[in-house]
Structure 1
Amino acid sequence: MSKRLFISEKPSVANEFAKALKINGRKNDGYIEAEDTIITWCVGHLVTMSYPEAYDTKLKKWSIETLPFLPKEFLYEVIPNVSKQFNIVKGLLNRKDVTAIYVCTDSGREGEYIYRLVDQLAQVDKNKEKRRVWIDSQTEEEILRGIKEAKPLSAYDNLAGSAYLRAQEDYLMGINFSRILTLKYGQTVTNYLNTGKWSAISVGRVMTCVLGMVVRREREIRAFVKTPFYRVLASIDASGKEFEGEWRAVEGSKYFNSHLLYKENGFKEKKSAEILIDEISVNQPIQAVIEQIEKKKEKKNPPLLYNLAELQNECSRIFKISPDDTLKRVQELYEKKLVTYPRTDARVLSTAVAKEIHKNIGGLKNYQYGQEYANEILSNGSYKNISSTRYVNDKQITDHYAIIPTGQGLSALNSLNSTSVKIYEIIVRRFLSIFYPPAEYQKISLISKIEKESFFSNFKVLINQGYLKVVTNSFDKRNKDAVSENDENSGGEESEDMKFDTSLIDIIKNLKKGMSLPVNNLAIKEGETSPPKRYNSGSLILAMENAGQLIEDDELRAQIKGSGIGTSATRAEILNKLVKITYLNLNKKTQIITPTQLGEVIFDVVNASIRSLLNPELTASWEKGLTYVADGEISMKEYSEKLEGFVSRMTNGVKNLNNQNQLLKIFNEAALFYK
């Protein structure tokens, strides 16, 4: 009797498939077998790329003469500590009664690679039927849909090609560049840092670029010189209520385009500000005349849904946990069927999912912090037109749509720790918020004239909560009214705008052009410029997603999507590695990231030898190239030729360098900060 074989990435996933398929088969060592079905699993990667010595024993010794190392064909081998499971899987794949193989590894590039390597080394009969199960959550309904709609494995050949190339790229750059830089500069670095032990210089396509981002930021902060500036503020009286006006040197001002200005709203010297106050205080009592008043309403839409980078940034900010920790926790939520697939770059839903979204919302009627909103959304039908909004866009989805709650598995919340439960809450609230109208604000802008100088006042007050009533987390201890605007960002500027006395706003609304108001006081407020902020673990992940730019604006980020450094699946791992090899420091309490002295030394070595490795745009272009392979826009051969050419040129370029002495001077500049 012929049998179907299902192969998953982990034992836990295999169990979910067994439950969905209602299989109560015999549990064997490494697989489950029933009458017509077998379910087995990998344990992550079972196969890896072979080290150079597998090609030639002479390559075990690092030597400049053997570089660049560019094999014509790549060799692979079974990872020793999982060889038992590999042999079990290999045996099952090649059983004669197994006629159909369903590949159920994680639905993404890495999951595809895990299976393809096993298939390659197991030498599975090419004539066997192989189908790919592609799912977005581990609910029974989604698993059964994935099996029913499984496409031939060959439909994913381009994705597999990009997976092979990504691994080969990391391998070739890692081995060639780490070896050539270690051979050329390793002793110099060891002697300089006086570590006593010779150690390899570790570089990689993505990790070195990320190191560069952190080191450059640290050096910008060091080079920053605070500049004081002086603003002039007027306290203006409106029917017994005071409001503030800020002076600006706009056209018509005596100081328009003056060399005395730091910016249009401040002077370089305090004396200049004092002179201005003297000039406009000549006529007593001082009066401010309303020259312009503008009232308008402003709407603020709910933010886009979470992808992994956005969620990692949020969790770093709120919970002070690392991106790696966030990924582990949201992966657990996924495996407990609570949320959809976490390793996604998309922040929108697909049209197909939007049609069935009422099911996700309906499930949340049983969730403590979703019940009220889910009932409201379902009763008013606001979910019905979601397909016509910015939250649904098939073109912005590659492998998976955004992270959203499934509406299922709620009983599993009792088995999770408190942080994981809170992460689930923020995912639910972000999801439900998109079915609510925008928040509405009343904005009033005033320009008042004192003599011939202009003073500006801005007021903004919330008049309709809209989606904001959904997004305030239950564990947020701050005043809900003051923070509701800020739950989606870092709690920035808007909170001050929302604290205006409503009676003052009523007075301001009734002011008219030409009215004269008494000025109670003119004061100088000293400020100073701020240095750039250090990255924290979350903002660094966001910067990686955006090719080295920290872009917080939803629309701008959507425009350059797909131009990131690394992928949603690898960014946390890369940051982890940089901390582990002590090139970066991660403060666990604050999640602030800084370079170590060793990290700065390695940065300087790379900057003086293979500078392009530090270029975020170039690193992102390699990732974009892999996307082109996955989409079938360029061939594996084209990409391989470009890759080998780059590795060869860079490696040979380092061979001809003789700049160790100049590097010592550069090392000394950074060393001043590590005394």
Structure 2
Amino acid sequence: MKTLVIAEKPSVAESLARVLQATQKSRHYYSGGDYIVTWSLGHLLTLKMPEDYKSEWQEWSLDTLPLLPDKMQIKPLPKTRAQLKAIGELAKRQDIGSAVIATDAGREGELVARWILDYLHFDKPVKRLWISSQTDKAVRDGFAHLRPSKDYDDLYAAAQARATADWLVGLNVTRALTVKYNDSLSAGRVQTPTLGLVAAQAEKISHFVPETYYTLSLQTKHGEAQLNGNPHLALAAAQQQRKQLQADSYQIMTVKEKSKHQKAPLPYDLTELQKDANQRYQFSAKKTLSLLQTLYERYKVVTYPRTDSKYLTSDLQATMTERLAAVSRYEPLAKPLAGKKAPVIQKQVFNDAKVTDHYGLIPTEQMPQPELFSNDEKKIYDMILGRFIGLFLPDYIETQFTYQLSGDFVLKQTQVIQAGFKLDLATTTVIPLKSGTQLKGNVALNKQLTQAPKPLSEANLLVQMEKKGLGTPATRAEIIEKLVNSGLMERVGTHLAVTPKGQQLLKLVNPRLTTPDLTAKWEQQLEQIAQGKLQKRDFIQQIRQATTDLVKEVKRSSADYKDFNLTMKVCPTCGAKLREKSTRNGVLLVCSNQNCDYYRRRDPKVTNHRCPQCHKKMVMLSGEKGDYFKCTHCNITEKVGDVKSKKRMNKGEERRLLQKVNQDDEPGESALAQALKAAMGKQD
């Protein structure tokens, strides 16, 4: 009998098939002696849309809200139905005796595979592959230690609860706001309090009033001494104290010597890597995760990306020398360490109690091929590698000398004893000063201004989201992107800002949904479900009640709303005003009537069709007789030929879909996003 292996993406399935010697490739799977390896394309199924439960729920109306299905149901996604059908046919084969879930080892990966198996009513034994790297060695070891799928039933329950909560809260509150204020206003369980964090910081800045203050310092040839406590003084008080403190010399009253040891930092978790990459290279959180996913899946040189731990399990100690040897040809600093088989000095990194589903980000035993890396991939790999090599290096050690001077001044000196993991620092020599030594100096009056809080950068926001319990390492990047793409938040230089539309949204929803407390509580409960400490039904009941309350408050609200994107142009279909909507393909004019699906481009679309006279690209316009090409240089026009619809994707379309799936940061589009897009009938 054969085993059916379900991977999450085609690229992962290809790697698994090679290791499992399933070398015969077909359109939807790989087959071999003992295994058939197939794949999903992210999510193949999603939660049903409102109209799938009741026909009257199709129309966007306050009267039907809240939408609370008795039982959440799933249905296939249209674009990937062919792959689901293929998996269904494989599952029914007589020579298939069992299945292995080989999707991403996390909450969402569990949902991808379980929904497939549940939808197909698969009743044969199922086991789980749980690995933290994609190297051949890790795959072989993982298949040698498969676990029963029931060991992950609680994780599946948590994933179902998360999807249900996002559907209930997000879809209901979004529909209520959209209908009441006649604009596309997207709210959600996690994204709205995340927006609230950015707005709260902006409010602190707007209320900030700068103040001038003065400090005193003593300038000596041994450095600058600060007045004890570094008090902030008014000008008159500072001038008076300066006169009192000015002297011909100052005596060292006491000397304190302190040795300071600093250990190398632990490996990155995903959030800290995204934060540092944003600060160092201005990478968005989504871009960092995408680069990391490529290093993990395609090149197999780093461990599982979506980790929330910085620690390593104790069993990894035996693999560290091999990992160091693998990177020694790439990183010169690793070569001498690998040559003498250096042990890990920072032993605190091995802590089983602080590792959850996955350990910290470290290199695999796979030798990197830097010539294949893009510049940005190399930057992320080097960051991970730097933390890894630091584990083999000694502590940074310095001696701090603190001198208490007459006049209540404090002078400090630092001597580097051992650079340790701070390889860019050199040791320094300081000749300590003795008690009773007289120092000459001049008391300086320093004028300073209090500084306003800085706007949140993406790095700062990630830190706040982690601190407040908003989202998970796997979802935070996507949450930020959704806020930007929905027009509620924007990137301004290196920081984030709430748009006028976003500011209004925060005033229209209940404050409980704009602050992190409620969402953090729900996220903690999801983790409790995953640990078997809370029942899914109890959590869902709580969410249903919260949804009902939130919708009622929107209905009762008398708040005003101004649509800043509404234009004076009129929809030719229903007569409503058109609204500007920014998309990846330019700005669209979309009908403001939620039950009308009319839209057009605001600006002419530049096509690849060339002018027959000047050979420059022509634009596409719409007229009474349909679409036509026009050259903006020669004013020549050409009618656009009728394009027959294609029931099946051609090879190019299929290749682009597979490429998109393999590069996706998330397993697939969320159920909420699918529901909103289909219900509103607006395509980007």
2:440 maps to 518
Distance in 2, matches of 1:172 and 1:622, equals 13
2:452 maps to 531
1:422 to 379, 384, 391: 379
Distance in 2, matches of 1:438 and 1:242, equals 27
Tell me the amino acid that sits aligned with residue 141 of structure 1. Answer: K
Distance in 1, matches of 2:6 and 2:367, equals 24
> Are residue 304 (structure 1) and residue 232 (structure 2) matched?
no
Tell me the amino acid that sits aligned with residue 389 of structure 2. Answer: L
2:244 maps to 279
Q: Is the 8 A contact 2:238 2:445 kept in 1?
A: yes
Tell me the amino acid that sits aligned with residue 275 of structure 1. Answer: Q
Q: Identity, % of aligned pairs?
A: 30
| Residue 339 of structure 1, CA deviation | 0.3
> Are residue 209 (structure 1) and residue 114 (structure 2) matched?
no
| Residue 370 of structure 1, CA deviation | 4.6
- Give CA-to-partner distance per residue, 1:421-463, whole Å, 9 cap, x none: 121111111011022221011111111113xxx0112222322
Distance in 1, matches of 2:491 and 2:446, equals 36
1:93 maps to 91
Distance in 2, matches of 1:320 and 1:302, equals 24
Distance in 2, matches of 1:338 and 1:374, equals 19
1:407 maps to 365
Distance in 2, matches of 1:274 and 1:526, equals 11
Q: Is the 8 A contact 2:10 2:40 kept in 1?
A: yes
2:475 maps to 570
Q: Is the 8 A contact 2:301 2:368 kept in 1?
A: yes
Distance in 2, matches of 1:575 and 1:274, equals 50
> Are residue 630 (structure 1) and residue 551 (structure 2) matched?
no
1:118-157 equivalent positions in 2, closer than 5 A = 118-124=116-122, 126=123, 128-157=124-153
- Give CA-to-partner distance per residue, 1:387-413, whole Å, 9 cap, x none: xx32122222221111110031412x3
| Residue 303 of structure 1, CA deviation | 1.1
Q: Provide structure 1 residue ranges, at least 5 long, that are not aligned to the other structure.
A: 187-197, 250-263, 470-479, 483-497, 548-563, 665-675
1:193 maps to none
Distance in 1, matches of 2:458 and 2:434, equals 50
Q: Is the 8 A contact 2:9 2:40 kept in 1?
A: yes
2:389 maps to 432
Q: Report the 3-state secondary structure (helix = DSSP H, G, I; strand = E; otherwise coil) of the residue aligned with 2:417.
A: strand
| Residue 626 of structure 1, CA deviation | 0.5
1:77-116 equivalent positions in 2, closer than 5 A = 77-116=75-114
Tell me the amino acid that sits aligned with residue 517 of structure 2. Answer: E
- Give CA-to-partner distance per residue, 1:34-90, whole Å, 9 cap, x none: 233211111111001111011111101122222221111112111101111110011
Distance in 2, matches of 1:650 and 1:169, equals 13
Q: Provide structure 2 residue ranges, at least 5 long, that are not aligned to the other structure.
A: 563-684
Distance in 2, matches of 1:369 and 1:204, equals 48
1:448 maps to 405
| Residue 265 of structure 1, CA deviation | 1.8
| Residue 604 of structure 1, CA deviation | 1.8
Distance in 2, matches of 1:458 and 1:586, equals 41
Q: Report the 3-state secondary structure (helix = DSSP H, G, I; strand = E; otherwise coil) of the residue aligned with 1:368.
A: coil
| Residue 234 of structure 1, CA deviation | 1.4
Q: Is the 8 A contact 1:14 1:41 kept in 2?
A: yes
1:181 to 177, 180, 186: 177
Q: Is the 8 A contact 1:337 1:409 kept in 2?
A: no
1:235 maps to 219
1:462 maps to 416
Distance in 2, matches of 1:13 and 1:422, equals 23
1:315-464 equivalent positions in 2, closer than 5 A = 315-335=277-297, 336-372=299-335, 374-375=337-338, 378-380=340-342, 382-383=343-344, 389-411=347-369, 413-450=370-407, 454-464=408-418
1:221 maps to 205
| Residue 138 of structure 1, CA deviation | 0.6
TM-score (norm 1): 0.80
- Give CA-to-partner distance per residue, 1:499-524, whole Å, 9 cap, x none: xxx67x31xx0x222333223x2210
Tell me the amino acid that sits aligned with residue 11 of structure 1. Answer: P
Count of residue pairs brought into register by the alignment: 561
Q: Is the 8 A contact 1:107 1:135 kept in 2?
A: yes
> Are residue 23 (structure 1) and residue 7 (structure 2) matched?
no
| Residue 600 of structure 1, CA deviation | 1.1
| Residue 307 of structure 1, CA deviation | 0.7
Q: Is the 8 A contact 2:20 2:35 kept in 1?
A: no
> Are residue 38 (structure 1) and residue 36 (structure 2) matched?
yes
Distance in 2, matches of 1:395 and 1:653, equals 44
Q: Is the 8 A contact 2:135 2:365 kept in 1?
A: no
Distance in 1, matches of 2:271 and 2:38, equals 31
> Are residue 481 (structure 1) and residue 480 (structure 2) matched?
no
Q: Is the 8 A contact 2:214 2:448 kept in 1?
A: yes
Tell me the amino acid that sits aligned with residue 143 of structure 1. Answer: V
- Give CA-to-partner distance per residue, 1:580-621, whole Å, 9 cap, x none: 11111114xx53111111111112222xxx111122132111
Q: Is the 8 A contact 1:545 1:565 kept in 2?
A: yes
Distance in 2, matches of 1:584 and 1:14, equals 37
Distance in 2, matches of 1:272 and 1:35, equals 88
Distance in 2, matches of 1:137 and 1:63, equals 48
- Structure 1 stretches (4+) deviating beyond 6 angstroms? none
2:160 maps to 164
2:72 maps to 74
Distance in 1, matches of 2:116 and 2:191, equals 27
Q: Is the 8 A contact 1:440 1:462 kept in 2?
A: yes
| Residue 651 of structure 1, CA deviation | 2.1
Distance in 1, matches of 2:200 and 2:301, equals 40
2:552 to 635, 638, 652: 652
1:265 to 216, 220, 231: 231
- Give CA-to-partner distance per residue, 1:187-227, whole Å, 9 cap, x none: xxxxxxxxxxx422100011001100001111111111111
Q: Is the 8 A contact 1:298 1:441 kept in 2?
A: yes
Q: Is the 8 A contact 2:329 2:335 kept in 1?
A: no
1:199 maps to 183
Q: Which has the higher helix share?
A: 1
| Residue 655 of structure 1, CA deviation | 2.9
> Are residue 53 (structure 1) and residue 48 (structure 2) matched?
no
Q: Is the 8 A contact 2:321 2:338 kept in 1?
A: no
> Are residue 603 (structure 1) and residue 506 (structure 2) matched?
yes
Q: Report the 3-state secondary structure (helix = DSSP H, G, I; strand = E; otherwise coil) of the residue aligned with 1:410.
A: coil
Distance in 2, matches of 1:19 and 1:358, equals 26
Q: Report the 3-state secondary structure (helix = DSSP H, G, I; strand = E; otherwise coil) of the residue aligned with 2:440.
A: strand
Distance in 1, matches of 2:336 and 2:402, equals 35
Residues 265/311 of structure 1: CA separation in 2 closer, same or farther (3 Å cut)? same
- Give CA-to-partner distance per residue, 1:540-564, whole Å, 9 cap, x none: 11211111xxxxxxxxxxxxxxxx2
Distance in 2, matches of 1:576 and 1:650, equals 24
2:667 maps to none
Q: Report the 3-state secondary structure (helix = DSSP H, G, I; strand = E; otherwise coil) of the residue aligned with 1:134.
A: coil
Q: Is the 8 A contact 1:169 1:643 kept in 2?
A: yes
Tell me the amino acid that sits aligned with residue 448 of structure 2. Answer: G
Tell me the amino acid that sits aligned with residue 339 of structure 1. Answer: V
CA RMSD of aligned residues (A): 1.8
Tell me the amino acid that sits aligned with residue 212 of structure 1. Answer: G
Q: Report the 3-state secondary structure (helix = DSSP H, G, I; strand = E; otherwise coil) of the residue aligned with 1:481.
A: coil
2:490 maps to 585
